Structure 1
C-alpha cells in the first residue's frame, strides 16, 4: 500500500505495511535492524508509540479518522515514548527524515492507495 499526501501531492511512502491485529501492533518495529527509505508501518488503532528495542530513529505521523495529520514526532530516538494524542486513531511510522523531505505538516490530508 502506498501513502500519498493529498495536500501537497508528495508521495510519502511506496510500501506501507499494515499493523491492524493485536500482535502486529504489539510487535511494531521492535527488533528490526532498519526501516528502508520509502517504507513505513500503519498502526491502527493507535494514539501513541514507543521506540523501545529499536536501534534507529523514526518519524511518526498521527492521523485522525479522516486521515488528517493531527500531530508529528520527528526523529524519535530509540528507547523513547512518543506523545499521546487523543484525537489520533492511527499512526504511521517512517524512516527519520521522511516528514521534512516530503514536506508533511499538521493539517495535511493523506491517502492510502492500494
Structure 2
C-alpha cells in the first residue's frame, strides 16, 4: 500500500498494480472502492471500463506524481480514457477526485 497527499492535504491510500496481470485485472469484477482509496496502475496511459461494476474517476500522473488529466465519472462498460504521456493512472470511486480536490497541474506527494 502506498499513501499520497493532495495539495489540499487530503490523504489517499493506494493499492499498486505494477505487473501486467495486476494491471490487466485492475478493478474488474471487484466491489466499489471505499472513500479515499484507489488503485494505482503503472505504467499506464489508458484504461477501459469493460467488466466494471461501478463508475470511477481516473487521475493520470507523470513520474513526479504531477496530475496531467482527471477523467470523471467513467461509466461501467462504456468508458474509455487515454492520456498520452502519462506514467500512471489512479482509479478512484466516481466523485472522489472532486471530493479530494484533485485537479490537473497539482502534484501529489508521498506521505
Alignment partners' CA distance in 2, 1:85 and 1:38: 22
Alignment partners' CA distance in 2, 1:80 and 1:47: 18
Alignment partners' CA distance in 2, 1:80 and 1:65: 28
Q: Which SS does the other structure have where 1:40 is aligned? A: strand
Alignment partners' CA distance in 2, 1:21 and 1:111: 23
For 2:5, the equivalent position in structure 1 comes to 4
Deviation for aligned residue 1:28: 0.3
**What RMSD over aligned residues (CA atoms) do the two structures have, in Å?**
1.2
Q: Which of 53, 60, 63 in structure 2 is aligned with 1:62?
A: 60
Q: Which runs of 5+ in 1 are unaligned?
A: none
For 1:82, the equivalent position in structure 2 comes to 80
Q: Which SS does the other structure have where 2:54 is aligned? A: coil
Structure 2 residue 94 is matched with structure 1 residue 111: no
Task: Please list the CA deviations of residues 57-91 of structure 1 after superposition, one character each: whole Å capped at 9, or x if unmatched.
Answer: 00110001211000011111101343211121100
With normalisation by structure 1, the TM-score equals 0.89
Task: Please list the CA deviations of residues 78-110 of structure 1 after superposition, one character each: whole Å capped at 9, or x if unmatched.
Answer: 013432111211000011111111111100100
